Amino acid sequence: MVGEIKMTDDSTKLKYTLYLGCNIATEAYGYEISAKKVLDAFDVELVLPDGYSCCGVTMRSVNSFAFLCLAARNMAISEALGNGLLVYCTGCRLSLSEAQHILAENSELKQKVNEVLAKEDLNYNGTIKIIHINEFLHDIIGEEKISGKIVRKFDGKKIVPHYGCHALRPSEINPQDDVENPQKLDDLIRLLGAEAPHHPEKLDCCGAPLLLKDVNSAYTMVGTKISALMKHEIDAVVTVCPSCQKMFENQKIASDTIGEKLSLPVLYFTQLLGLAMGMEPGELGIQLNLTDYRSILS
């Protein structure tokens, strides 16, 4: 059954297969560390099987069939375990969801993909439920359970989310929030005591998709957004995507690009949540971040 939540032998635990992707496993260590600490506190059991590869996004514009095979292969590995598939990266979430959507619409293409996967004794059925950690915390863990873990509140702080384009669009493929007015991260931030004020730049792209084409344009986009947030007197930004985090953290480059001094704390939401739950910064990998988070704890 698609969307089924599998329990472990301990009925208090949720069991999910974790797909880390390339970026988190190789450089976004603070995200991986903080997510694990937070999910452990909610008795979530994560299974990380051998054999995962890239989600396929690197092949998307080069060879669409290779993209589908890579994405389906990862999902087939997860399907064999019978759990839901939890992802931290919004780009990976989109790649897997897009492949699932395409193969659901084309049975002949699905058969051809499975002919390739059969060489590894794998078979893609299309039954896996793909869920992003933002959606998981808001919808599955829920605000009531999260509230019960909060020991430190960020009263008086203005903290805004950056959802990222891949978390919301295309709207018809595995939607996890309202694409025009997403609120789930806002809800979770307010749960921690902070304000999450609306601002006109809320849905602006971080510029990451442009990096390989035009670096200056990419950093102009993120620099312009950071500049606007500073003018709105925002205290910090939280992200749920390693690529978005990287763009927001490289404020020296963005400062040089737009000709303006930028300085705004940026954390993964799982790091902010961990702090609110009483965890120490070092436990959450915040020392690996490139921006100064100390003003958030002042």
* Residue 139 counted as domain residue: no
In a domain, 141, yes or no: no
Is 140 a domain residue?
no
- CATH code of the domain in which 81 resides: 1.20.1050.140
Domain boundary (133, 165, 195) is at: 133
Instruction: Give the CATH number of the domain where residue 282 resides.
Output: 3.40.50.11810
**Cβ atoms < 10 Å from Cβ of 184:** 20
- Residue at token pair 């070092």: 282
1 occurs within a structural domain? no
pLDDT for 8 equals 42
100 and 211, same domain (yes or no): no
Residues 67 and 177 both lie in one domain = no
pLDDT, residue 252, reads: 97
Residues 160 and 186 in one domain: yes
- In terms of domains, do 201 and 271 share one? yes
Last residue of a domain, one of 133, 164, 179: 133
CA 6 from chain centre, in angstroms, equals: 22
What is the model's pTM? Answer: 0.94
pLDDT in tens, the chain (298 residues): 233 334 444 446 899 999 999 999 999 999 999 999 999 999 999 999 999 999 999 898 899 999 999 999 999 999 999 889 999 999 999 999 999 999 999 999 999 999 999 999 999 999 999 999 999 999 999 999 999 999 999 999 999 999 999 999 898 898 899 999 999 999 999 999 999 999 999 999 999 999 989 999 999 999 999 999 999 999 999 999 999 999 999 999 999 999 999 999 999 999 999 999 999 999 999 999 999 999 998 7
Q: Are residues 293 and 167 in the same domain?
A: yes
Does 150 lie in the same domain as 124? no
Q: Which tokens in the block code for residue 252?
A: 């020296």
Give me the pLDDT at residue 298, please: 77
Separation of alpha carbons 83 and 110, rounded Å: 21
Give first-to-last CA distance, the chain, whole Å: 47
Whole-number pLDDT of residue 82: 87
Domain C-terminal end among 68, 103, 133: 133
The C-alpha atoms of residue 109 and residue 68 are separated, in whole angstroms, by 9
**Structural domain for 34, as ranges:** 6-133
How many domains, the chain?
2
- For residue 270, the tally of other CB atoms under 10 A from its CB is 27
